[in-house]
Amino acid sequence: MIDFFFDFMSPFAYLAHSQLPELARKHGYELRYRPIDLPAAKLAAGNTGPPNVSMPIKLRYLRKDLDRWAERYKIPISFPPSLKSELANKGVFFAEAKGQCKDYVRHVWSHSWGEGQDMSSEELLAEIASELGWEPDAFLAYVHSEEAEDAYRLSNEEAHSRGVFGAPIMMIGEEMWWGSDRLFFLDEYLSSQ
């Protein structure tokens, strides 16, 4: 089992997920999707620096770097208007109960980082629910529920207890790989098992 700790706000997690399901399949591993609150994970790890969006010079480079990776992976990338991801993150638990995590995650990222749509939009989340064959009102009620809040809190607590400090992070047991550019290390590890 590969635990995939991510936040939909992270373009690097989007890049990683474009490759990760096939990498897991190739080695006979399942993915376990663990959504986290990335800013909270960073703070819990002692990272109190400013976010990338408040550093124009770094952000300019990051955009170029993201474009390069997207071109390498042959996927589109477009900055969404909002990085508010809490509701989309909570939707993972609804998808998990339906056995459709991979599809849900792929749809959210396709619409947000792929097409530049607002991942915090309830209209978009309802559209994604419909695309997956779910009742949109039931899905939206879930992401606002105490049940979803509890599941999200537990996922964040698990991440903190396992030393997660950013996203994406892939873990097998105590082995950790951080970043979309570390997938080849994960591939080498899985090949050696």
Q: Helices (H), strands (E): how many in the chain? A: 10, 4
**How many distinct structural domains can be found in the chain?**
1
pLDDT in tens, the chain (193 residues): 999 999 999 999 999 999 999 999 999 999 999 999 998 777 766 666 656 666 678 888 889 999 999 999 999 999 999 999 999 999 999 999 999 999 999 999 999 999 999 999 999 999 999 999 999 999 999 999 999 999 999 999 999 999 999 899 999 999 999 999 999 999 999 999 8
How many CB atoms sit inside 10 A of residue 14's CB? 27
In contact, 16 and 84? CB cutoff 8 Å: no
Report the length, in residues, of the chain. 193
CATH of the domain at 187: 3.40.30.10
Residue-range definition of the domain harbouring residue 124:
2-192
Of 178, 97, 176, 108, residue with least CA distance to 138 = 97
Q: Which residues are catalytic?
A: 10
Distance, in Å, from the CA atom of 168 to the CA atom of 173, rounded to the nearest integer, reads: 16
Sort 110 into a burial class: Cβ within 10 Å, 0-12 / 13-18 / 19+: middle
